[in-house]
Amino acid sequence: MNVISFLKDRIMLYVLHLVCMMALGGFLLATGYHRDACLLIWICWLLILLAWTVYEYRKRKQYFSRMEAVLAQIDQRWLLGELMPFSERLEDRLYREMIRRSNGAVIERIHAAEETRDAYREYIESWVHEIKAPITSVALMCENHRSEVTRNISAENSKIENYVDMALYYARSDEVYKDYLIQETDLGAVAAEVVGRSKYYFIQNAVQVEIDCKDAVCTDRKWIAFILNQILQNSLKYRRETGAWIRIYTERICIEKRTRGVRLVIEDNGIGIRAEELPRIFDKNFTGTNGRSHERSTGMGLYLCGKLCAKLGIGIRAESEEHAGTKVMLKFPVSMYLLPEMN
């Protein structure tokens, strides 16, 4: 609100005043009053009008800046109706009442949407738990009756498991803080378990794996297993036809001869990622050329990795050369508390 827009808003009022001044002037001159008297009345009139305008302008200005301040302070802006400053003007009070009613409806909607979302998420979580029972039975049946067919079933079963996991972790990814247990984790053991879980899938595609992780880090075992699994699934999907291998190893990050962290590297000799697509691989729903030309990609796996890494304080980065291979690096910070031990 500035002066000009304020005056413009009241233009009709000023026109009315002007008309009245003219009419009064005409009347007074016609009834024989002196011109100077008329002029005096006009000046007084204008002064009073000016004073009133200034007062009114300042008052309105104050009212609206208070409202702006309220808006700036609260993070749930739809609550404005409840927090609007009091004003004795009827219009303001009417507007306030209307805004309150409208906001009330918005708040109801928001609650309803939140409830639906929570119920849906709970359902997904319980569904995931339910579906794991049959997946387990199938895995056990295949293990107990090994044959060509069950090996293939096992490989497919591990894919199902992976997709189910993705659904669960997607549902949970916003609330990592509710569900983690940070403990010293042997990355080699986690890697071996993750690789073992997709054993049949790896063997079927003749992919070799080398694990060489000497350093332990403090992190949540379950989440890191999920992240590692997603990266490995990608390496598997986008492998080269013959002689494919994946190497998983750790290295220490040293700055000025002091260990500042541990880096977990997952390196493969697969088909790689195009340079122009590399910066986007952690984006949601990004599938890229590989995702379309090879096995279908959901665009979710690496997105979840990026998101979870951010929540766990792990730096994730990828390097790749097309037709040569890809390197995904996870950087674990080491707490200052543990540093003296490592050096």
Partner 1 sequence: MNMHIVIVEDEAAIRQELKLLLENALYKVTALGEFQDTAAAALAAEPDLILLDIRLPGESGFDVCTKIRAVSDVPVIFLTSQTDSADELNGMLRGGDDYVTKPFYPPVLLARITAVLKRTKRAAGQEKEPDRLAYRGVELDVARGSIRCQNRQAELTKNEFKILYYLFQNTGRIIPRIELIEYLWDNQVFIDDNTLSVNMTRIRAKLEQLGVHDLVETKRGMGYRL
Please report, as ranges, the residues that interact with partner 1 according to CB under 8 A: 128-130, 132-137, 139-141, 143-144, 146, 151, 161, 168, 179-181, 192-193, 195-197, 199, 202-203, 206-211, 220, 222, 243
Minimum CB distance to partner 1 smaller for 115 or for 193: 193
- Is 195 in contact with 202 (CB distance < 8 Å)? yes
Minimum CB distance to partner 1 smaller for 140 or for 254: 140
- Is 272 in contact with 323 (CB distance < 8 Å)? yes
Apex 72 CA angle, 66 and 76, nearest 5: 115
Task: Compute the least distance from the CB of residue 309 to partner 1, in Å.
Answer: 18
Minimum CB distance to partner 1 smaller for 5 or for 147: 147
Task: Compute the least distance from the CB of residue 294 to partner 1, in Å.
Answer: 20
Residue 275 backbone zone (phi > 0: left; psi -120 to 50: alpha; other: beta) = alpha
CA-wise closest residue to 166 among 303, 47, 288, 53 = 303
> To which residue do tokens 């009073």 refer?
48
CA-wise closest residue to 260 among 308, 317, 198, 217 = 217
How far apart, in whole angstroms, are the C-alpha atoms of residue 218 and residue 333? 9
Task: Compute the least distance from the CB of residue 133 to partner 1, in Å.
Answer: 5
Minimum CB distance to partner 1 smaller for 154 or for 297: 154
Minimum CB distance to partner 1 smaller for 268 or for 291: 268
CA-wise closest residue to 342 among 176, 214, 166, 210 = 214
Task: Compute the least distance from the CB of residue 185 to partner 1, in Å.
Answer: 13
Task: Compute the least distance from the CB of residue 111 to partner 1, in Å.
Answer: 26
Task: Compute the least distance from the CB of residue 265 to partner 1, in Å.
Answer: 16
DSSP, collapsed to helix, strand or coil, labels residue 215 as coil
Task: Compute the least distance from the CB of residue 196 to partner 1, in Å.
Answer: 5
Minimum CB distance to partner 1 smaller for 124 or for 135: 135
DSSP, collapsed to helix, strand or coil, labels residue 122 as helix
DSSP, collapsed to helix, strand or coil, labels residue 304 as helix
- Is 80 in contact with 71 (CB distance < 8 Å)? yes
Minimum CB distance to partner 1 smaller for 24 or for 160: 160
Task: Compute the least distance from the CB of residue 131 to partner 1, in Å.
Answer: 9
Minimum CB distance to partner 1 smaller for 86 or for 177: 177
Q: Is the dihedral of CA 219, 221, 227, 232 positive or negative?
A: positive
The 3-state DSSP composition of the chain as helix, strand, coil percent (nearest 5) reads 65, 15, 20
